[in-house]
Structure 1
Amino acid sequence: MSGVVVATLLATAGCSDSGSTSTATPGSSSQGGGGQGGPGGGMGSVQTFTAVDLNTGGDSPGGANTAAVVTAAQAFLATLDDTLKAKINLAFTDNQSRQTWSNFPASTVARKGVALKDLSEAQRAAALAMMKVALSPEGYQQVLNIQKADDYLNSLGGDGADGFGNLVDYYVAVYGTPSATAPFMLQFGGHHLARNLTYNGTKVSETPQFVGSEPTSFTSGGQTVAPVKDESTALFALFASLSAGDKAAAKLSSGTYDDLMMGPAHDDGVFPASEGLTVTAAQKTLVLAAIKPYVDDLADDAAAKLLAKYESELGSTKIAWANNTGPEDESSYLRIDGPSVWIEFINTRSRSTPNIHYHSVYRDKTNDYGSTKPS
């Protein structure tokens, strides 16, 4: 890692989150415990970016529906005038911009690309159609549900809730020229969502990926919406299944956690030392079930191939927890740590809603941004 900080984003806008710029360390409080929406309700955040050389030699098992994605991306770009296209279609070699994602709202951490609110209805429809092709039906629906959660927060009004919304918080960018053979990337995200999809021929990377939900569920249009239900249900079921001995062995010894370790700005490829309980034969089914909702955000063939890769590595994969393990408990922190897969999940608080809400990050140690050598 070069260790050169190439950008720092400062903001003073309000945010409902509990300060998750992924600066949390074991036993410490991210943003000093007084981050956005945390105890004391801070009024600002800092996100730094470290110089990273992102190549395209990632360890992907393939199966990408690249040709269909190229067609959808070209259709979206064709709706743009020259001014919008210059803002949205960025160079694939612009690594700093490719790293610009966060779980904070866009008012707090500025995004690259263009906000949905600055697109026409036809252009927004084309952007979403592009994401619909790139993702599975479940992955695309999660995008819509997380956006609905922002609309719900905005409807609450008051401190920490104003200013959210599916048009305001969500940005779209395309890096490189969409091609069936040359690398390119789709980036879509905002508050509690980061979709970073990198294509290189039949190879695809869907990481880094961030999903979150505040609140964990709510009612919209007479229906219950729970944007992170599949991920949370499977993970909590896994840890609830552990025997007392296994649970003790899985407990992290490095301290307590108040947020995610490998969230935004952690792109140097250096992951924490592996800790916890090595997955046993009896636990493999539940561990795979916990990984599957993340992987299944990809289109079918690529998802199946990637899940098979992670399954082959389960004998060298560990599960771990800190603080608590209950779905409603404060600061429940859960982790799956394999040779390739890295998943973190935490219950965190906000100042907008009375109960916990979810943060989760999924990374592939061998394929973030389609890269094997973040250096």
Structure 2
Amino acid sequence: MVVDQIRAATQDLLAALTPEQLKKISAPFDTPDHQVWTYLPGAVPGLPLTELTAAQEALVVRLLELVYSERGLADFRAVMAAEIIVRGLADPMEVAEIGGWAGSTVGGRYYLRVLGDPAGFEPWAWRLNGHHLALHVTLVDGAISFTPQFFGSNPAEVRTGPYAGRRFLAPEQDLARELLAALEPGQRELAIVAGTAPDDILTRHDPVADASLLHRGLAYGDMSADQRQLLSLLIGQYVGRAAGPIGLQTWQDITAHGIERLTFAWAGSTERGAAHYYSIAGPTFLAEYDNTQDNANHIHSVWRDLHNDWATDLLAAHYATGRH
């Protein structure tokens, strides 16, 4: 099972660390800052990737490969490549393969943390946090929670220099624009909820996502088959970052709670190059995308599970059965 593989990979990583590294990476599962996270630059609790040796990096890569799909890993690389370009640190092709963090400036901006004991029987978690990247994985009784999950990019598109024209997280924007363009006039009136985009995702890095902050927009159930297909593809940009079994479970949850109840809302300009925002929300699923900062060339995107962020539902079931 993938859960057992993730457990073994994490144990292998911890066994390869020095005592000083173990002190930085480890925390109790019930640590007071368990649900504290951010996508802003700056130090956060954990072991900086820059402090890993090449052999230790390989073990982190193994862990990522078990949890994320090939496209999820590509988005991971994209976040770091954009960070390198905007800060003029090095050739972004250096992160064409995951790794190479040891001693690097960019590696020092991302922190890995393990909460709880992966060798035990109680819930545990690991997370990778840093600028424009927040990955949270919680494991409870053979099940996995994959959110909150944040991917961002500055720039969204390189506009000058040797990498001009390179785009990051492009399908998240392109599919949303394609869906908006496919709507009939009456549908667009429902979907476009504001002429001005918010300056960031509305749920920010709140521990608990509040869906009431979002506008309703146009419902999946009120779309044509072709429009629904576009919305499904857009949702897939978020869910598809997860490894197959995890993504499949998410789709099953969305369907079980009524996919027709999902809504798509757009705010801001419909012109390319101008500030814009969209959200997709339903009974369990929430995704936000914002591109407004730095002359609309700075992406923030997030996927939240309204029931199971931080494994809330899984933990409730775990403690209710007395397995702890």
Would you call these one fold, judging by a TM-score over 0.5?
Answer: yes
Asked if 2 retains the 8 angstrom alpha-carbon contact of 1:70 and 1:180, the reply is: no
1:132 matched residue in structure 2: 65
2:12 maps to 1:75: yes
Partner of 2:218: 277
Given that residues 320 and 335 in structure 1 are in contact (C-alpha distance below 8 angstroms), is that contact kept between their aligned partners in structure 2? yes
Q: In the alignment, what sits opposite 1:22?
A: none
Residue 175 of structure 1 pairs with residue 115 of structure 2: yes
Aligned partner of 2:187 in structure 1 is 246
Matched pairs, number = 297
Superposed CA deviations along residues 297-339 of structure 1, whole A, max 9, x for unmatched, are 1111221121232244221111111122344222x01011100
Matches of residues 228-239 of structure 1 in structure 2 within 5 Å? 228-239=169-180
Q: Percent identity?
A: 26
Deviates more, 1:187-196 or 1:164-173: 164-173
Aligned position for 2:21: 84
For the Cα contact (< 8 Å) 1:213–1:227, is it kept in 2?
A: yes
The residue that corresponds to 2:49 in the other structure is 116
**Secondary structure of 2:171's aligned partner:** helix
Which of 179, 191, 199 in structure 2 is aligned with 1:258? 199
Cα distance change on mapping 1:224 and 1:121 into 2, 3 Å: farther
Given residue 177 of structure 1, which amino acid in structure 2 is its aligned partner?
D
Partner Cα separation in structure 2 for residue 230 and residue 307 of structure 1: 19
Q: Secondary structure at the match of 1:186?
A: strand
Q: Distance in 1 between matches of 2:209 and 2:287?
A: 14
**Shift in alpha-carbon separation, 1:165–1:146, aligned structure 2, 3 A:** farther
Paired residues of 1:185 and 1:199 also in contact (CA < 8 A): yes
Letter in structure 1 aligned against 2:86: L
Once the 2 structures are TM-superposed, how far is the Cα of residue 293 of structure 1 from its aligned partner?
1.4
- How far apart, in 1, do the equivalents of 2:123 and 2:278 lie? 33
Find out whether 1:298 has 2:242 as its counterpart: yes
- Aligned partner of residue 108 in structure 2, secondary structure: coil
Equivalence for 1:42:
none
Relative contact order (C-alpha < 8 Å, sep 6+): which is higher?
1
Aligned pairs for 1:1-375 within 5 A: 65-96=2-33, 98-106=34-42, 110-155=43-88, 165-179=105-119, 182-218=122-158, 226-252=167-193, 256-264=197-205, 266-272=206-212, 275-279=216-220, 280-282=222-224, 283-312=227-256, 313-330=258-275, 332-350=276-294, 356-372=297-313
C-alpha distance in 2 between matches for 1:220 and 1:204: 42
Structure 1 stretches of 4+ moved >6 Å: 219-224
Q: Shift of the alpha carbon at 1:250?
A: 1.8
CA RMSD between the two structures: 2.9
**Contact persistence 1:333–1:347 (CA under 8 A):** yes
Residue by residue over 1:185-221, the C-alpha shift from the partner in whole angstroms, topping out at 9 and shown as x without a partner, is 1111211111111111332121111111111244999
Letter in 2 for 1:336: I
SS for the counterpart of 1:196 is strand
1:79-116 Cα offsets, whole Å, 9 max, x none, are: 111221121021111141x333222112xxx3110111
Give the distance between the partners of 2:115 and 2:165, measured in 1 at CA: 36
130 and 223 in structure 1: CA distance in 2 versus 1, 3 angstrom threshold: farther
> Residue 227 of structure 1: CA displacement?
3.4
Contact (CA 8 Å) 1:182, 1:200: kept in 2 or not?
yes
Report the CA distance shift for 1:355/1:364 in structure 2 as closer, same or farther (over 3 A).
closer
Kept in 2, the 8 Å contact 1:103–1:192? The answer is yes
Superposition TM-score, scaled by structure 1 size: 0.72
Code of the residue aligned with 2:189 in structure 1: it is A
Q: Secondary structure at the match of 1:252?
A: strand
CA distance in 1, matches of 2:167, 2:194: 32
Shift of 1:348: 2.0
Query: With structure 2 as the length reference, what TM-score do the two structures score?
Result: 0.82
SS in 2 for 1:246: helix
Alpha-carbon offset, residue 230 of structure 1: 2.9
Structure 1 gap segments, 5+ residues each: 1-63, 158-163
CA shift at 1:156, angstroms?
7.2
Change (3 A) 1:251 1:291: same
Using a 3 Å threshold, how does the CA distance of structure 1 residues 179 and 302 change in structure 2: closer, same or farther?
farther
**2-structure distance, mates of 1:211, 1:93:** 25
- In the aligned structure 2, how far is the partner of 1:186 from the partner of 1:115? 14
Deviation at 1:180? 8.3
Gaps of 5+ in 2: 91-103, 316-324
Structure having the higher helix fraction is 2
